[in-house]
Amino acid sequence: MQPHAAAFKDSKFGPLWIDQDARPERQAHLTDSVSCELLIVGGGFTGLWAALQARERRPDLDIVLIEATEIGDGASGRNGGFLKSSLVHGDNNGEFHFPGEEDLMEELGRQNMREFISSLGKYKIDARYEGTGEIEVNLRPDQNAESEEWVEELREEGRDVVWLDKEAMQSEVHSPTYMGGVWDRQGQDGVIDPAYLCWGLKRVIQELGVRVFEGTPLNRMDRKGDGMEVECDHGRITCQKIVIATNAFRNPVKRARRRVIPVWDHVVATEPLNDEQMKSLGWKGRQGLGDNLNMFHYYRLTHDNRIVWGGGTSVAYRYGSQTHGVGGDSPALFEKNYRDLIETFPQLSGVRITHRWSGIIASTTRFCMTPGTAFDGRVAWSVGYTGLGVGATRFGARVALELLGYDPTDILQLQMVQRESLAWPPEPVRWPAVHFTMKEMARADRNAGRRGLWLKLLDRLNLGFAC
């Protein structure tokens, strides 16, 4: 057996987050015909926050939430748990796609984050939040000059961002691969336990009277009278309005479907590290870490001192936008992640992996959420957070509710809301285009960041690929 394969010997296939004692019982599936005013389809963060905010806006609203499998079974129970305030996947992306609204989007992101954290307190949701900030690590010395300049600019704007040179970075977290790093300490960014957040939100919405049916996929929907009718496996739902919160999964509205592609990401979690292993890492600040690559890794500590590690070249798109089964048990991709982890922290050589899992990221051509409406405004969606949805889904849920007419505000005038993202090309062009782009990005990473002609062209059109 290869040494890396041995580390996986007793590992489980399934998210660490979901495999915890606090996992609540599944709610029964729909067995009958029911009616409600607002139906929410999808029990990830978007759907759960939509239910909570709808209840906050309209205490008497009759709300039903249906989830195809189990609350948190999609990306929301499978992610890295990095909580960030950006709604637009970083400043540069926001500047390009929503010119003139950078400051506004930033302020809305901060406001969303304040309300997010305050909801955790108000509803006593223990999401194991740690406000650690995040460090973006340089693995090549040639990246340092640009990073230092960037830090200076941000500090002039009054932001709490620190430049760590090679020595400072390696003393913060002990990896021989680190050449420098940017520690973003501002605001309330940090890490959470994503399943704890899903389960906390599920408890709260049920306490507030939202009816939740798990194991209940929407199969079909259509107009009925002045509302909508939805067909599920074992029953029907008539309602006035619908929030579609299915993100990377097949959207029932074709127009929305064409704007999102599912990108599979693969994650591993180590056994809890012992005191000696923790000491060998430093990492006293417990920050979320990500490397400054096109195909970047992200990793963090959990409450019981495991490392959760994902991303890198384990990211994959499957022909025909496959999402089914949320399977993706691909030993080669998990082992690739393990190799990268041990290369970063050679002192952990031999550490065992207890969990390996995959999940689907909903990527749009503008790398952040795209909302929309159909059926004369009776149906709204917010989908496509492209790898940065732990915080942004709360805002996405708000947008969808306001699009349905629940106390609209001027966020509906934002470019992000007024303009949908461009559609992805259909197959058979989609797979080769995405696959080739990912290969080129990995090649640029191996080649000291030098971008080939294809990436340069995409950069020019701001159609590069991110996840």
Ligand X SMILES: Cc1cc2nc3c(=O)[nH]c(=O)nc-3n(C[C@H](O)[C@H](O)[C@H](O)COP(=O)(O)OP(=O)(O)OC[C@H]3O[C@@H](n4cnc5c(N)ncnc54)[C@H](O)[C@@H]3O)c2cc1C
Q: Which residues bind ligand X (CB under 6 A)?
A: 41-47, 66-69, 73-76, 78-82, 84, 217-218, 245-249, 265, 267, 298, 310, 359-361, 385, 387-391, 393
Q: How far is the CB of 75 from ligand X (least distance, A)?
A: 4
Please identify, using beta-carbon distances, which residue of 8 and 299 lies nearer to ligand X.
299
Q: Using CA atoms, how far apart are residues 385 and 391, in angstroms rounded to an integer?
A: 10
CA dihedral 84, 85, 88, 90 (to 10 degrees): -60
Please identify, using beta-carbon distances, which residue of 29 and 159 lies nearer to ligand X.
29
Nearest to 214 by CA among 466, 23, 20, 455: 23
40 CB-contact burial (10 Å; exposed 0-12 / middle 13-18 / buried 19+): buried
Please identify, using beta-carbon distances, which residue of 82 and 317 lies nearer to ligand X.
82
What amino acid occupies position 43? Answer: G
Please identify, using beta-carbon distances, which residue of 161 and 268 lies nearer to ligand X.
268
Q: How far is the CB of 22 from ligand X (least distance, A)?
A: 18
The residue count of the chain comes to 467
Q: Using CA atoms, how far apart are residues 300 and 451, in angstroms rounded to an integer?
A: 29
Sign of the torsion formed by the C-alpha atoms of 360, 123, 68 and 329: positive
Residue nearest to ligand X (CB): 389
Please identify, using beta-carbon distances, which residue of 74 and 133 lies nearer to ligand X.
74
Please identify, using beta-carbon distances, which residue of 247 and 364 lies nearer to ligand X.
247
Q: How far is the CB of 303 from ligand X (least distance, A)?
A: 16
Q: Using CA atoms, how far apart are residues 50 and 65, in angstroms rounded to an integer?
A: 10
Please identify, using beta-carbon distances, which residue of 243 and 455 lies nearer to ligand X.
243
Contact 269, 354 (CB under 8 A): yes
Q: How far is the CB of 153 from ligand X (least distance, A)?
A: 24
Q: How far is the CB of 282 from ligand X (least distance, A)?
A: 22
Q: How far is the CB of 114 from ligand X (least distance, A)?
A: 17
Q: Using CA atoms, how far apart are residues 350 and 21, in angstroms rounded to an integer?
A: 27
Q: How far is the CB of 117 from ligand X (least distance, A)?
A: 15
Strand 261-270 with 307-311, pairing = antiparallel
Please identify, using beta-carbon distances, which residue of 324 and 460 lies nearer to ligand X.
324
In the chain, the N- to C-terminal Cα span, in Å, equals: 33
Q: How far is the CB of 36 from ligand X (least distance, A)?
A: 15
Q: Using CA atoms, how far apart are residues 239 and 54, in angstroms rounded to an integer?
A: 15
The stretches of 41-174 forming alpha helices (DSSP H) are: 45-57, 91-97, 102-122, 144-156, 166-172
